[in-house]
């Protein structure tokens, strides 16, 4: 971590986020290679990711966040990526 002077000492849950998102972020910090970033997505995988993102993003599913979510889910983040995006958009 290069910006330690700006690092928050509180957990995501302590900041008001869900415990599910807290677990995801902690797991990612400890094991960043768990997300297979760079995985290629065919048309079916993109369509499946779009359905997952629309489910979690609800009313913002028409925004640019949808395409970012589709990329994240399809690139290996799975449904957890969509859940985390939805959680962050609550703020």
Tokens of 83: 């859940």
Burial of 20 (0-12, 13-18, 19+ CB in 10 A): middle
> Residue 15 has what pLDDT?
84
> Residue 63: pLDDT band by 50, 70, 90 thresholds?
confident
Predicted TM-score (pTM) of this structure: 0.56
Model confidence over 7-53: pLDDT tens digits? 777 877 888 888 888 887 777 777 655 454 445 688 999 999 999 99
Find the Cα–Cα–Cα–Cα dihedral 12, 25, 61, 65, rounded to 10°.
100
- Is residue 35 within 8 Å of 64, Cβ to Cβ? no
Q: Where are the alpha helices (DSSP H) in the chain?
A: 19-30, 43-57, 64-72, 78-89
């Amino acid at each position: 971590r290069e910006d330690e002077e700006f690092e928050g000492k509180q957990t995501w849950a302590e900041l008001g986020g869900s415990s599910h998102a807290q677990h995801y972020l902690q797991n990612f910090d400890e094991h960043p290679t768990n997300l297979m970033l760079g995985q290629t997505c065919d048309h079916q995988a993109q369509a499946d990711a779009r359905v997952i993102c629309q489910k979690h993003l609800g009313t913002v599913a028409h925004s640019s966040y949808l395409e970012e979510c589709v990329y994240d889910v399809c690139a290996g983040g799975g449904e957890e990526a969509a859940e985390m995006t939805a959680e962050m958009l609550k703020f």
